[in-house]
Amino acid sequence: MANSKAKTEKSYHAHIARVKTVRYIVLIFLSIVCLFSFYILFVNSTRAHAAIQSGFSPLPGKSFFVNFNSVIHNGNLPVLRCLLNSLIVAACCAICTTYFSTLTAYALHAYDFKGRKAIQTFILAIMMVPTQVTALGFVDLMRAFKLLDNYIPLIVPTIAAPAVYFFMRQYMSGALPLEIVEAARIDGSNEFRTFNTIVLPIMKPAIAVQAIFAFVTSWNNYFTPNLILSKDKLKTLPILIATLRGADFLKFDMGQVYMAIFLSIIPIVIVYIFLSRYIIQGVAVGSVKG
């Protein structure tokens, strides 16, 4: 009997080991597939224009610093200026989106008032409206407000982010007991102090997750900035890269182009590294508990 039980347990552990091995193999394969394009981007950023034209190479070249200096000191390619512009817009959008979406979710979670369900339904309905549908009216409105060539139209509208609100609402319903809010009120804390000192720390995982998504979305946004910004000193990095892609192939250095694209992904990687530890925790609590 004992031998049979030991064999069964051994067989079970062997099965678990095989399953884990298959999972790791699949995950490693998917990671390689996802990172392969970034590796090729890095390789091409280290190669000269002639070498890139000669064909594919899996090994890095010797022109990394040459391409880097060419990009930095190219007066017709203001990468650093566009990089700074994108950083300002993306950081402000991430802060505004996460803070005010969390504040909206808190208001609809902590307060029971007439019309709350109607407001929730309306907010979710806004998610179904594509940005392109309202783009023309939005540009006309910004022109009437004299806000073209300004970062305000790119930052302030991100306060209203239905998808971020929905995520925060789902996370809050499982992670924020109303008893904590009631206890803070009894202790004499006002609503904004309660939100800033109690609710925000509890919501930190969800905020970190949505901050990454909001930063990346704003960083990669080409459509709206291209409609609003026309001055070269205000343009963001996606506009610059799109301009490079539309240029005559015979008139630009491919090594510089790949270097510019490589530099454009560094801030995203940095933000992801600092906040990625919250992704699994935030998504798991926000979706499962919600």
Q: What is the pLDDT of residues 233-248, one digit of tens each?
A: 898 988 888 777 665 5
Domain that holds residue 40: 2-45
Residue 53: its pLDDT value, please?
A: 82
* 238 and 101, same domain (yes or no): yes
pLDDT of residue 257: 83
Question: Within 13 Å, how many C-alpha atoms sit on residue 147's CB side?
Answer: 15
- Check whether 15 has a pLDDT greater than 80: no
Tell me: pLDDT of 148 over 70: yes
Q: What average pLDDT score do residues 178-184 get? A: 86
103 has pLDDT over 60: yes
Asked whether 149 and 229 are in contact (CB, 8 A), the reply is yes
Distance CA 155, CA 94 (A): 9
CA dist list (Å): 265 to 184, 200, 201, 238, 262 = 43, 29, 29, 11, 6
Q: What would the mean pLDDT of 133-154 be, rounded to a whole number?
A: 90
Q: How confident is the model at residue 214 (pLDDT cuts 50, 70, 90)?
A: very high
Closest CA to 236 of 259, 219, 255: 219
Residue 4 pLDDT exceeds 70 = no
- Decide if pLDDT at 253 tops 90: no
Q: Is residue 160 part of a domain?
A: yes
Asked whether residue 10 carries a pLDDT value surpassing 50, the answer given is: yes
**pLDDT for the residue numbered 286:** 47
- Identify the pLDDT of residue 101: 92
- Whether residue 186 sits in one domain with residue 146: yes
| pLDDT mean over 112-138 | 84
For residue 1, pLDDT beyond 60? no
Closest by CA position to 158, among listed 207, 227, 238, 92: 92
Q: What is the distance, to the nearest Å, from the Cα of residue 84 to the centroid of all Cα atoms in its chain?
A: 17
Q: Average the pLDDT over each of 51-55, 152-156, 194-198, 277-281 and give the range with the smallest value.
A: 277-281
Task: Judge whether 59 lies within some domain.
Answer: no
Report the CATH number at residue 231. Answer: 1.10.3720.10
Residue closest to 271 by CA, chosen among 217, 202, 235, 221: 217
Is residue 54 in a domain?
Answer: no
- Evaluate whether residue 81 is within a structural domain: yes
A 10 A CB-CB count for 81 gives 16
Q: Do 181 and 224 lie in a common domain? A: yes
Residues 34-58 have a mean pLDDT of: 87
User: Is residue 23 located within the same domain as residue 92?
Assistant: no
pLDDT at 290 over 50: no
Q: Residue 266: name the closest of 53, 76, 45 by CA.
A: 45
242 and 152 belong to one structural domain: yes
DSSP state of 160: -
> Do 9 and 148 belong together in one domain?
no
Instruction: Identify the residue with better confidence: 94 or 282.
Output: 94
Lowest mean pLDDT among 122-126, 134-138, 275-279: 275-279
pLDDT exceeds cutoff 50 at 287: no
Look up the pTM and report it. 0.81
Q: Is 188 left (phi over 0), alpha (psi -120 to 50) or beta?
A: left
Asked if 131 and 9 sit in the same domain, the reply is no
20 and 77 belong to one structural domain: no
Confidence (pLDDT) at 248: 57
Confirm whether 98 is domain-assigned: yes
Mean predicted confidence (pLDDT) in 171-184: 84
Cα(245)–Cα(224) distance, rounded to whole angstroms? 18
When pLDDT is averaged across residues 210-230 and rounded to a whole number, the result is: 90
Tokens of 255: 């090594």
Q: What is the mean predicted confidence (pLDDT) over 77-86?
A: 87
94 and 233 inside one domain: yes
Number of domains in the chain: 2
Domain co-membership, 7 together with 112: no
